[in-house]
A and B are shown apart, each in its own frame.
Chain A
């Protein structure tokens, strides 16, 4: 089960760039394409995951980690196993972005958006592979630290249980941020019952806190 980047969703990129509709001129379209290419040239997708037994309110099997919060409890209500996963695009995009910042800030911003869309795609692919591997059982959607009331400081557990620092080359700063930046951690529940698609509304969106649409009282539409 290799980490795979198959597609960089243009719509998603545009959302990260706060595009509010309207025409995309030729030169912007070219810049977006260049950003996608740059991302593909520099990204080295990697993933790590592990399965744990799960019972509500108890530590994950063989560990001392109890996922905190009501939201995750509800999310995993039907599940008896949990997969912890981490996905990164590696240091390449971060390094290129530092370089672009100097002479092509617009390119840096577009690369950033491409990275966000790409890391989601790698996560989607991994989850599709996991779903196939776990069939006929069913998987939930992804749930990440920082969503709902699952605090960001839970990243520490992901790092120690998945050995993320050593296996992905990602480090966690004192303030709970991950470097390289295009990195995602999440938990996915495993159940015998079919799992509902969670509303992909603002509540479960990683951008919820910093979304420009929400600040203006609007929604992005997904």
Chain B
């Protein structure tokens, strides 16, 4: 059985349409109304040679069945019944078929991961109850959605789980998933088989299959369409014979499960059976590639990969303030900054007294995933926060960290196994950090053994030999490097090391840090944890990549420095003679920041805000009203002013002072509406007038707005709706706020609104544009 070919079935939708299913009707309903037809089609597949039947339940989720008058349980049970009936006494397994939910998940869409999980859970429970033999999650293009489905399958049944995804010829799925990211994520989640279905024809899928094979040794599945459809008619064009012929090369790649998707029929399966009878699939070659990934992109560990350390409150007042104020945007901007500076992976640490760490971990992980496609490293000592982070993360993460203590290993390693994460093991235990490299090596071995015993693959265990401060313990730098060399060469594991610590307490720290980093890289460090914004650090890494041969032909190195003129003097920017007004008006952020610093030498923070920044913004606003400038300029100006404000905020935070705010405003794009660009513009402008904005996002239910208004005791609420269809929910939200009895003022805006209409639905103010919203805020809040 191990290496035998397993024949799956062919298309169901195509066959049902031929049997008279009207377009537009959910095909799953025929499980209840036309069960003989459904079972009849499946019986023909069994006769043709299919040994696994997929139930006719592709879209049997609560969202798609909403208007059908039937429950998920009913329709799924009907689907399993039909397949069982068709299988009869034949040795055929019945697979519960689960397709995409039909709504895009966050961050692209508004369906949350947790909601998706719940929808899949219902399907899984129904399928397991009805007696399915396995679960097939198919035609997926988003790994986040796949993760929700796989977790739902594994947490609510004991059935084997197969996953097939759909890709484009570009080698990516619709939402940008790459094949390595798919392989790493699914391998990590412990699916029993993976592959491709739908998408394209067999010939077009072959290169993708080859790539998949390089990244996983799991059994592979191939269930392609009958070629590409004729655009005019939607019909598929290749014959059953050429389909089978095109499928043959897949066997050499070790594909074991074969079937067809759109446009195929029992005849296709018969031809496949004939082809399969004469061929044997190859066994997977050993030595697959490995690494970590986000929901879209993989980072392979075949060279030096930089882990950015800046998302961490330790010693950073401004970051701590952001955590306490739940200012997630500030935090994720640190992620973008590090990505731009060359980080390959982002460490995420949000632990701080007074912060609900699991909850904050989920918000930050999700927010980061909406703006960057770097893999994440969940950094916490709190197992609940680690699990919350691992659940919310899309792709394959790293857990930072475990150590040699048995109770830590027993608490964290099962989580890494379940969610498919790599893990960092620190070379320390209940007795502290061994002073001798041999002691650290022994702990590394212990961690490795424990990880293996929990079923983690060897390549997912990364060891941190720990950096100590040379100004306190000078001999320790050598011990760390020796331990590192041992772990790399003798244990053959990947190594990780935070390096900046080494120079603590010394003058001109960067010299020591960079020298140590260079030596560590030379000793075999794969994953330096550093501040990528430090140019000297990243320069050293770029240089080491040249010396190790990783940077072929020194291309990346040359590109890095080609753009930079030799001998530049960044600190001494010439005096431009520009005024703060000019800088803001022209949207020059760096210049605004420089001039703000200069102004702060002569005035205190508040007067810089009230006498310089705000009046400058006011003048920009006037120009906008007179149509001397247009919207992008207004926003650029606000963004530039932001640089000045941010500087002042950081300065006050360092001093431990109260944050400056002219008052709180709650903003939301109303329920049903996903166009939030207008609201985002308003937000930028209001923030830069010094107001604190609580941004609830888009598609926000009325009760969430009411809760926020009461919780924040906001004096002003701004609601936005872009479509006529969603102005209705704007009216409902206003009514809900009024019913709550909170006396806040409400301003509304949005493309389809007018002043009249705003008054009619009970708003206090109509803001025709972002500038007016600032005027209203001034009127209400001062």
Q: Do A and B come from one complex?
A: yes
CB distance from B5 to the nearest CB of A (A): 27
A98 at the A/B interface (Cβ < 8 Å)?
yes
B578 at the A/B interface (Cβ < 8 Å)?
no
Whole-angstrom distance between the alpha carbons of A27 and B636 in the complex?
A: 10
A209→B672 contact, CB < 8 A: no
Q: Which residues of B contact A92 (CB under 8 A)?
A: 176
Contact digits for A12-54, partner B, Cβ 8 Å, 1 yes 0 no:
0000011110100101100110000000000010001111000
Q: Which residues of B contact A28 (CB under 8 A)?
A: 632-633, 636
B550 at the A/B interface (Cβ < 8 Å)?
no
A141 at the A/B interface (Cβ < 8 Å)?
no
Whole-angstrom distance between the alpha carbons of A1 and B329 in the complex?
A: 42
Q: Which residues of A contact B175 (CB under 8 A)?
A: 91, 169
A103 at the A/B interface (Cβ < 8 Å)?
yes
Q: Which residues of A contact B586 (CB under 8 A)?
A: 25, 27
A175 at the A/B interface (Cβ < 8 Å)?
yes
B104→A171 contact, CB < 8 A: yes
B23→A161 contact, CB < 8 A: yes
B231→A48 contact, CB < 8 A: yes
Contact digits for A180-214, partner B, Cβ 8 Å, 1 yes 0 no:
11000000000000000000000000000111100
For residue B769, which residue of chain A has the nearest CB?
A212
A63 at the A/B interface (Cβ < 8 Å)?
yes
B627 at the A/B interface (Cβ < 8 Å)?
yes
B24→A65 contact, CB < 8 A: yes
CB-contacts of B333-350 with A (<8 A): 333, 336
B232 at the A/B interface (Cβ < 8 Å)?
yes
Q: Which residues of B contact A160 (CB under 8 A)?
A: 23-24
A209→B752 contact, CB < 8 A: yes
Whole-angstrom distance between the alpha carbons of A101 and B629 in the complex?
A: 21
Partner of B587, one of A65, A94, A106, A179: A106
Q: With A49-B231, A102-B333, A210-B722 as known contacts, state yes or no: A91 contacts B108, CB within 8 Å.
A: yes
A135 at the A/B interface (Cβ < 8 Å)?
no
Partner of A51, one of B24, B232, B632, B724: B232
For residue A63, which residue of chain B has the nearest CB?
B23
* Segment of A68-76, A108-116, A117-125 engaged in the interface with chain B: A108-116
Whole-angstrom distance between the alpha carbons of A216 and B319 in the complex?
A: 44
CB-contacts of B83-139 with A (<8 A): 100, 102-104, 107-110, 139
CB-contacts of A54-105 with B (<8 A): 62-65, 90-92, 94-95, 97-99, 101-105
* Segment of B71-79, B555-563, B674-682 engaged in the interface with chain A: B674-682
Q: With A50-B234, A106-B639, A177-B723 as known contacts, state yes or no: A95 contacts B176, CB within 8 Å.
A: yes
CB distance from A28 to the nearest CB of B (A): 6
B631 at the A/B interface (Cβ < 8 Å)?
yes
Whole-angstrom distance between the alpha carbons of A10 and B628 in the complex?
A: 19
Q: With A103-B333, A105-B638, A109-B635 as known contacts, state yes or no: A1 contacts B630, CB within 8 Å.
A: no
B627→A98 contact, CB < 8 A: no
Whole-angstrom distance between the alpha carbons of A110 and B635 in the complex?
A: 11
By CB atoms of chain A within 10 A, which of B141, B170, B234, B586 has the most?
B234
For residue A157, which residue of chain B has the nearest CB?
B24
Whole-angstrom distance between the alpha carbons of A97 and B108 in the complex?
A: 10
Q: Which residues of B contact A20 (CB under 8 A)?
A: 627, 630
Q: With A19-B630, A173-B103, A177-B674 as known contacts, state yes or no: A51 contacts B233, CB within 8 Å.
A: yes
Q: Which residues of A contact B630 (CB under 8 A)?
A: 17-20, 22
Whole-angstrom distance between the alpha carbons of A49 and B230 in the complex?
A: 10
A8 at the A/B interface (Cβ < 8 Å)?
no
A102→B103 contact, CB < 8 A: no
Whole-angstrom distance between the alpha carbons of A112 and B108 in the complex?
A: 15
Q: Which residues of A contact B170 (CB under 8 A)?
A: 44
Partner of A171, one of B102, B633, B672, B723: B102
Partner of B23, one of A64, A180, A215: A64
CB distance from B442 to the nearest CB of A (A): 45
B198 at the A/B interface (Cβ < 8 Å)?
yes
B677→A98 contact, CB < 8 A: no
A175→B672 contact, CB < 8 A: yes
Q: With A18-B630, A174-B672 as known contacts, state yes or no: A31 contacts B103, CB within 8 Å.
A: no
Whole-angstrom distance between the alpha carbons of A222 and B725 in the complex?
A: 26
Partner of A210, one of B231, B333, B681, B751: B751
A95→B234 contact, CB < 8 A: no
Q: With A99-B372, A179-B109 as known contacts, state yes or no: A109 contacts B677, CB within 8 Å.
A: yes
A179→B635 contact, CB < 8 A: no
Q: Which residues of B contact A91 (CB under 8 A)?
A: 108, 174-176
CB distance from B127 to the nearest CB of A (A): 22
Whole-angstrom distance between the alpha carbons of A166 and B102 in the complex?
A: 9
Q: Which residues of B contact A97 (CB under 8 A)?
A: 677
Q: Which residues of A contact B141 (CB under 8 A)?
A: 169
For residue B637, which residue of chain A has the nearest CB?
A106
A17→B632 contact, CB < 8 A: yes
Q: Which residues of A contact B674 (CB under 8 A)?
A: 173, 177, 179, 181
A6 at the A/B interface (Cβ < 8 Å)?
no
B174→A90 contact, CB < 8 A: yes
A109→B722 contact, CB < 8 A: no
Q: Which residues of A contact B336 (CB under 8 A)?
A: 99, 102-103
Q: With A102-B333, A110-B632 as known contacts, state yes or no: A161 contacts B371, CB within 8 Å.
A: no
Partner of B725, one of A49, A65, A176: A176
A171→B103 contact, CB < 8 A: yes
Interface residues of B (CB under 8 A from A): 22-24, 100, 102-104, 107-110, 139, 141, 166, 170, 173-176, 198, 231-234, 329, 332-333, 336, 370-372, 586-588, 627-633, 635-636, 638-639, 672-675, 677, 680-681, 684, 722-726, 750-752, 754, 768-769
9 sample A-B contacts, Cβ–Cβ < 8 Å, listed by A number = A27-B586, A50-B231, A99-B336, A106-B633, A106-B636, A157-B24, A166-B198, A209-B724, A210-B750
The 3 closest A-B pairs by CB, nearest first: A169-B174, A210-B751, A175-B672
